[in-house]
């Protein structure tokens, strides 16, 4: 038979696929190593934490602290919570004035005061604005609490503004902050001295220093903050925000005892440090005693006021006690509440302050610059 007549062989065909055997094992996918799983878990956790932290920093620009939280609660309890709108938490001073406020309207009242309404403006450094003056070669820094700041009066009616108005060719800086003690004032002074290089520094503290808040001093709270900053999780804003949202703390109750915010000894040591810092920068320190309304009718002197008088004598410094001047110029009628003066009270208080500051500035002009001033 010839090859052309042979039957051709058909190529083998694959058997038809039958139904899958349910007992046959499924294809095995390669398993990720444990190390890879852990890496993915860590990266996911870090990403979530970063998102939460960035979102929290939009709400909390500075991590809060117990002192700042207590101050806000206290303002709420006293009946003037709007004052907290002026303030923000601060890493070194517990709280500070918010910068770049433009005529913020505040309304409220303390226990026995009428309704208080006033506007506040601050500069980029978080200091209350004083109406600007022309070019000046002499500068005065006012450092203090809410009385220096001017609770209840307009920017141009505060003590520093009234003194500047009288001196005309001298620039005055209002570094008063509501609620401050000398401890907080010293830290602010250390920031401002090399920036402003003032010729005279008017120091006004005492009332807040004597108050008992939670039975712990400002120094104790500052030490606690330092310990907390050493723990990395306490530097996360999201942790503080979560704590704030979960906290249901009641308003502060009147203290039953414990340490004041600064003892007399701590107050004296802190003011001495202020005096030394001023002298190191070539500035004249002036101590100021701001009386309470009760002292307009009663002959009494508080322990912190006695400390200032004793320090002024020991350090040979001017110490201005405003008590007789305000008592003779209107007394209790010059007050908005138990301690804050109204516009007329601030204007009257400016008289002896301006006279003392002018004398010191003239003395500095007539003599060579003090040590530390270039």
Whether the pTM exceeds 0.85: the reply is: no
Is a pLDDT exceeding 60 seen at residue 3? Answer: no
- At residue 12 the predicted structure's pLDDT band, cuts being 50, 70 and 90, is low
- Percent of the chain past pLDDT 70, that is, above it, reads 78
Decide if 27 is inside a domain: no
Name 233's Cβ contacts closer than 8 Å, sequence gap at least 6: 239
- At residue 366 the predicted structure's pLDDT band, cuts being 50, 70 and 90, is confident
Decide if 20 is inside a domain: no
Is a pLDDT exceeding 60 seen at residue 61? Answer: no
Q: CA 269, CA 274: separation in Å to the nearest integer? A: 9
Mean pLDDT, the chain, integer: 86
**Cβ atoms 335, 345 nearer than 8 A:** yes
Lowest mean pLDDT, pick from 18-32, 82-96, 227-241, 244-258:
244-258
- Rounded average pLDDT over 53-65: 59
Q: Which long-range contacts (CB under 8 A, 24 or more apart) does 320-324 make?
A: 320/286, 320/287, 320/288, 320/289, 320/352, 320/353, 320/356, 321/289, 321/291, 322/288, 322/289, 322/290, 322/291, 322/349, 322/352, 323/289, 323/291, 323/295, 323/296
- Report the pLDDT value the prediction gives residue 44, as an integer from 0 to 100: 78
Host domain of residue 178: 98-216+261-366
Is a pLDDT exceeding 50 seen at residue 176? Answer: yes
Read off the CATH number of the domain in which 337 is found: 3.40.50.1110
Q: How far is CA 162 from each of CA 117, 157, 345, rounded to the nearest angstrom?
A: 19, 6, 11
- Rounded average pLDDT over 263-283: 98
**pLDDT digit string, tens, across residues 116-174:** 999 999 999 999 999 988 778 899 999 999 999 999 999 999 999 999 999 988 999 99
Decide if 64 is inside a domain: no
Decide if 88 is inside a domain: no
- Report the pLDDT value the prediction gives residue 237, as an integer from 0 to 100: 53
What DSSP line would sit under 278-325, residue for residue?
Answer: HHHTT-EEEEEE---GGGGTS----HHHHHHHHHHHHHT--EEE-HHH
- Rounded average pLDDT over 274-292: 97
Q: CA 32, CA 206: separation in Å to the nearest integer? A: 67
Decide if 76 is inside a domain: no
Decide if 150 is inside a domain: yes
The residue among 367 and 177 whose pLDDT is bigger is 177
Number of domains in the chain: 1
Is a pLDDT exceeding 90 seen at residue 344? Answer: yes
Is a pLDDT exceeding 90 seen at residue 238? Answer: no
Decide if 139 is inside a domain: yes
- How many residues comprise the chain? 374
Task: State how beta strands 284-289 and 116-120 pair.
Answer: unpaired
- At residue 251 the predicted structure's pLDDT band, cuts being 50, 70 and 90, is very low
- Report the pLDDT value the prediction gives residue 133, as an integer from 0 to 100: 84
Beta-bridge mates of residue 94: 90
Is a pLDDT exceeding 90 seen at residue 319? Answer: yes
Decide if 196 is inside a domain: yes
């Amino acid at each position: 038979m010839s090859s052309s007549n042979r039957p051709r062989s058909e190529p083998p065909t694959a058997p038809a696929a039958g139904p899958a055997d349910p007992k046959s094992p499924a294809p095995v996918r390669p398993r990720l190593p444990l190390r890879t799983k852990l890496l993915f878990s860590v990266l996911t956790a870090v990403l979530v934490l970063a998102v939460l932290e960035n979102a929290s920093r939009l709400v909390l620009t500075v991590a809060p602290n117990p002192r700042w939280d207590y101050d806000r609660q206290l303002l709420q309890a006293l009946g003037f919570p709007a004052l907290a709108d002026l303030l923000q938490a601060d890493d070194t001073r517990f709280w500070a004035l918010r910068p770049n406020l433009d005529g913020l309207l505040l309304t409220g009242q303390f226990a026995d005061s009428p309704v208080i309404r006033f506007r506040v403006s601050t500069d980029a450094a978080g200091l209350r604005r004083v109406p600007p003056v022309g070019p000046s070669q002499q500068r005065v820094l006012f450092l203090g609490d809410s009385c220096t700041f001017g609770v209840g009066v307009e920017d141009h009616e505060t003590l520093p503004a009234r003194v500047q108005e009288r001196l005309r060719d001298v620039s005055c800086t209002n570094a008063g902050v509501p609620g401050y003690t000398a401890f907080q004032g010293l830290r602010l002074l250390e920031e401002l001295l090399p920036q402003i290089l003032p010729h005279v520094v008017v120091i006004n503290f005492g009332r807040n220093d004597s108050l008992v808040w939670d039975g712990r001093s400002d120094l104790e709270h500052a030490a606690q903050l330092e310990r907390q900053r050493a723990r990395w999780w306490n530097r996360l804003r999201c942790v503080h925000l979560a704590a704030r949202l979960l906290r249901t703390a009641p308003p502060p109750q009147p203290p039953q005892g414990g340490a004041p915010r600064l003892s007399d000894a701590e107050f004296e040591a802190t003011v001495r440090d202020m005096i030394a810092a001023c002298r190191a920068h070539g500035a004249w320190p002036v101590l100021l005693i701001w009386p309470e309304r009760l002292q307009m009718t009663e002959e009494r002197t508080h322990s912190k006021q006695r400390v200032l008088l004793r320090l002024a004598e020991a350090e040979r410094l001017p110490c201005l006690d405003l008590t007789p001047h305000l008592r003779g110029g209107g007394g209790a009628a010059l007050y908005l509440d138990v301690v804050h003066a109204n516009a007329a009270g601030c204007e009257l208080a400016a008289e002896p302050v301006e006279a003392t500051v002018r004398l010191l500035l003239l003395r500095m002009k007539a003599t060579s610059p003090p040590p530390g001033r270039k």
